[in-house]
Amino acid sequence: MHDIVSIGECCVELSCDGPLSEAKTLYRAYSGDALNVVYMATKLGSSCGYVTKVGDDPFSENFIKEWNNNGIDTSAIPKVSGFTGLAILSILEDGQREIYNYRAGSAASTLTPSDLNEDYITNSKFLHVSAITQAISKSSRETTLKAVQLAHDNGIQVSYDTNLRLRLWTIEDARDALNEVLPYTDIIFPSHPEETTMLTGIDSIEGVANYFLTKGVKTVAIKLGARGSLVATNDMKCKIHAIAPLGVSDTTGAGDAFDGGFLHSTISGSDPIEAAKLGVTCAGLKVGNRGAILSQPTKKEVLDHIGSVQIERIE
């Protein structure tokens, strides 16, 4: 049994420092939000599996090998005719990024509900899905819905990241897709304020938390970037302040590191406040170096710094 199974797309990642328009050299890596989550959780000690499709291009064989070497189960990943998606990004001076994705028709976007292995999903503790997986194609959106329904019907907890990418679809489609999965979602990871305001029309952090709680979500873990996180259940609300022990070099994948830390901590028996503390620590260390996956911290680094995270209970 896996602790976490995630479904999503991995892209070839080509990156540079500074504006893309001035780049002379691009560095190759790979990333994908659902993959980044299980990478972080695996580094902390969770057993994780990944569901996707990869193309028969030169990149996929190396990807599978790397994921296996890093402890991620890849037995549910077929290689199919086609190509792996591409993400080109630049890291700007303030650690922010500009990203251009080339993924229409990619191997992962051909996922269909019939590709799902029911036992693979139901023999896990958590299923993690993302709005990006829903956005890359109609069939992938259908697959995401089928997966969360399978998990919910079999008592498997579901986590969902609202990752909003308006390059992939309209805000109306994003709202519809969110509403599709909310009835099956136990933990939600929205980002505030840009995502949440567009998706819900609500400006306040506490208002966003209440919105999702009234929809039946048990735990709301709102990501606030440099301000940390607000975690809420029907019984409490608490702010967890951010840390950045290494400074801010690259914010790519910070939210995914948060998700992975939060889920690992939850599976280990922690309450939502402690889970958010671990998530904030993972994200705060990740931003100190470059790369969505390469800069994820080790378990020792996380444990060395989690004690500096401050919490603020909201009455």
The string of DSSP letters for the chain reads -EEEEEE---EEEEEEES-GGG-S--EEEEE-HHHHHHHHHHHHT--EEEE--EESSTTHHHHHHHHHHTTEE-TT--EESS---EEEEEE-TTS-EEEEEE-TT-SGGG--GGG--HHHHHSEEEEEEEHHHHHS-HHHHHHHHHHHHHHHHTT-EEEEE----TTTS-HHHHHHHHHHHGGG-SEEE-BTTHHHHHHH---SHHHHHHHHHHTT-SEEEEE-GGG-EEEE-SS-EEEE----TT--S--TTHHHHHHHHHHHHHHTT--HHHHHHHHHHHHHHHTTSSSTTTTPPPHHHHHHHGGG--EEEE-
Q: For each of the chain's 315 residues, which pLDDT tens digit applies?
A: 999 999 999 999 898 888 888 889 998 989 899 999 999 999 999 999 999 999 999 899 899 999 999 999 999 999 999 999 998 988 777 656 788 888 889 999 999 999 999 999 999 999 999 999 999 999 999 999 999 999 999 999 999 999 999 999 999 999 999 999 999 999 999 999 989 999 999 999 999 999 999 999 999 999 999 999 999 999 999 999 999 999 998 888 999 999 999 999 999 999 999 999 999 999 999 999 988 899 999 999 999 999 999 999 996
In order of start, what are the domains of the chain with their CATH numbers? 2-314 (3.40.1190.20)
Global pTM reads 0.96
